[in-house]
Amino acid sequence: MNYTLLCDFYELTMGNGYFLTGRGERITYFDLYFRKVPDGGGFAITAGLEQAISYIENLRFNEDDLAFLRAKGGFAPEFLAYLARFRFTGDIFAMPEGTPIFPNEPVLIVRAPAIEAQLIETFLLLTLNHQSLIATKANRIVRAAQGRTVTEFGSRRAQGADAALNGARAAYIAGCGGTACTLAEIRYGVPASGTMAHSWIQMFDSEYEAFAAYCRAYPRNAVLLVDTYNVLKSGTPNAIRAFRDVLDPLGCRPLGIRLDSGDITYLSAAARKMLDEAGYPDCKIVASNSLDEYLIRDLISQGAKVDLFGVGERLITAQSHPVFGGVYKLAAVENEAGEIVPKIKVSENVAKITTPHFKKVYRIYDRETGQAEADYLCLHDETVDETKPLELFDPDFIWKRKTITGFVAKELLQPVFLQGKPVSRRPSLEEIRAYCRREIDALWPSVTRFENPHNYYVDLSPALWKVKQDLLKIQSRGFGE
């Protein structure tokens, strides 16, 4: 599908304006970042970069696109001619997918001519916002399950086909064991699985007959849905009977039963006892039905005997916090001499004041424990010397200071495009998933807890902090253009 015009119309009107005023080729620096972690959590997870790269690689204006803009009116013929030969020629630096991220630090930086940087804004935001949101929610659910497998079940409740596919991808990055979406395995390699719906049982004259038929069809993959009529009086006993009559003679073991309604804690405990007494202690119990991290946590704390969770609508839509809130803001412009001129956006809402200039982001790890201590934003030409003590200070409350030694500084923003060409190796989905798990493990438990997580510090270098304060002073005096 051609996504070239999947952009806010103002990106085109501004591009036309930049072109007419001679500003279209000026090199700009845009930061993509977010302001608030969903669900009051301590961190988010970045995802969606792979789709952003593919979009930019293939970004072309075809004749249908140009005909639409020509008919729309208001665009200079010279600008449309420019679009006809459009190619992205800039640089992009991004944190790898699966990285734990924090508010107000650039997750991605675009350095490109103004028109190019502006035209890719919408797609960058929509793909990183969506997949980061789903990855963040999925990881909360995975952590709540305490090592039990979580499978993404949400395709039918997703807000569109792309949301289902990319949501399954993001959930897998964040730790889900697989998806119910078949196409997600074909397109991305996310393991797809599934067994039966209630309609399978209803198609037969009896529940036992339905279970026996399924066991004969899938003797090595039998997971039976036991809540169509009555879990304890009908479903589980009939499942056990089918296991004995069909699977045992074949030398096969049942994989599991699934509960999709009712009091999961009570029913799973009772069903577990029945299965154990019948000689099937290895038969897993799967639970589904509008689950989220809080319900899963409660089920486990109450003693539910659930081995796997299938989570649908509340994961794939991030129902409790359905907007990620990433933004794309100008941070600097190069002048005619090639010097980087920092830019700032000021607001009475302090949270919306931007951090200017072309930046680096370091993650500071304790050398002995490997745990992440803080993120450190600095100017693009600064480096962190690991052999010297590093003083960190809260950029909003500068009297809060901490000096650390014995640390490792890892630069997070990596080149993705240079001069319009992709330069980084694209990791496999399994590599991204493993990286995500390692990086989350490097966070202190105080950061990963659900309630009142520790405020992980994102600090500015003294030089960057001074640039920001100087620009704020200029604006407060009314000298800004």
The predicted-structure confidence for 260-283, as pLDDT tens digits, reads as follows 999 999 999 999 999 999 999 999
Q: What is the pLDDT of residues 93-147, one digit of tens each?
A: 999 999 999 999 999 999 999 999 999 999 999 999 999 999 999 999 999 999 9
CB 266 within 8 A of CB 258: no
Question: Rounded to the nearest 5 degrees, what angle is found at the Cα of 386, between the Cα atoms of 104 and 95?
Answer: 35
What pLDDT score does 419 carry? 97
Orientation of helix 429-441 relative to helix 121-144, angle to 10°: 60
User: Domains plus CATH for the chain?
Assistant: 9-119+325-476 (3.20.140.10), 148-316 (3.20.20.70)
Q: Give the per-residue SS3 of 8-50.
A: CHHHHHHHHHHHHCCCCCCEEEEEEEECCCHHHCCCEECCCHH
Beta strands in 205-299 (DSSP E): 223-225, 256-259, 284-287
Distance CA 2, CA 50 (A): 17
Evaluate whether 361 touches 411 at the Cβ level (below 8 Å): yes
In sequence order, the 6+-apart residues with CB closer than 8 A to the CB of 91 are: 110, 111, 112, 415, 417, 418, 419
Are 256 and 284 in contact, with CB atoms under 8 Å apart? yes
pTM of the model: 0.96
Query: For the chain, what is the radius of gyration of the CA atoms?
Result: 27
Contact 69, 12 (CB under 8 A): yes
Helix, strand and coil content of the chain, in percent to the nearest 5, comes to 40, 20, 40
Exposed/middle/buried for residue 239 (C-beta within 10 Å: 0-12, 13-18, 19+) = buried
| The pair of three-digit structure tokens given for residue 444, joined into one six-digit string | 């202190």
Residues whose CB falls within 8 Å of the CB of residue 233, separated by 6 or more in sequence, listed in order: none
Check residue 478 and give its pLDDT: 66
Q: Which residues of the chain have pLDDT under 70?
A: 478-481
To the nearest 10 degrees (0 to 180), the angle between helices 121-144 and 161-173 is 50
Kindly list the distances between the CA atom of residue 362 and the CA atoms of 177, 405, 472, in Å, as whole numbers in the listed order: 31, 15, 24
pLDDT in the model for residue 351: 85
